[in-house]
Amino acid sequence: MLLSKDRKIPAPSVNPENKPYFDAASQGKLLIRKCAACGEFHHYPRSICPHCFSDKTAWHDAKGVGIVYTCSVLRRGAPEPYCIAYVTLDEGVSMLTNIVDCDLDAVKIGMKVRVLFKPTDGGPPVPMFTPA
Ligand SMILES: [Zn+2]
């Protein structure tokens, strides 16, 4: 079953801290934060490193590929079924996201996926993933 292309995705809440993330998303680029003090990536975007509390964090272009860590297809309470998932990026961080544009019943843990960007209802696009 294909996911409807018409599902309305709510606009994300944009603030000064995450605005560069959504500006990049508008250009089809996935950014994650990297800490210069401890070398670890993190997500969602924060200016203080959650690993070592350093403020020496900066934006980094993610490769936009990863694997499905866990997933679930939601069939109730939504006009169309959709697949919610945690995707672990190559950089090691996990993102709560959706798997889209594929047979939802074929989405499996460990599946390789790549990022794409879906328009939202009046806001910037948001990163989602599809089988690589
Ligand atoms: Zn750190």
Residue 40 C-alpha to ligand 1 middle, in angstroms?
Answer: 6
Q: Compute the distance between CA of residue 62 and CA of residue 31 in angstroms, rounded to an integer.
A: 5
CATH number of 19-131: 2.40.50.840
| Cα 5 to averaged position of ligand 1 atoms, centre (Å) | 39
Q: What is the pLDDT of residue 117?
A: 97
pLDDT value of position 5: 54
Region of 77 (left: φ > 0; alpha: ψ -120 to 50; beta: rest) is: left
- For the chain, what are the domain ranges? 19-131
| Separation of CA 39 and ligand 1 centre (Å) | 6
Residues of the chain with pLDDT under 50: 1-4
**pLDDT tens-digit map of 47-71:** 999 999 999 999 999 999 999 999 9
- b/e 59-71 (16+ beta carbons within 10 angstroms → b): eeebebbbbbeeb
Going from the Cα of 78 to the center of ligand 1, the distance in angstroms, rounded, reads: 39
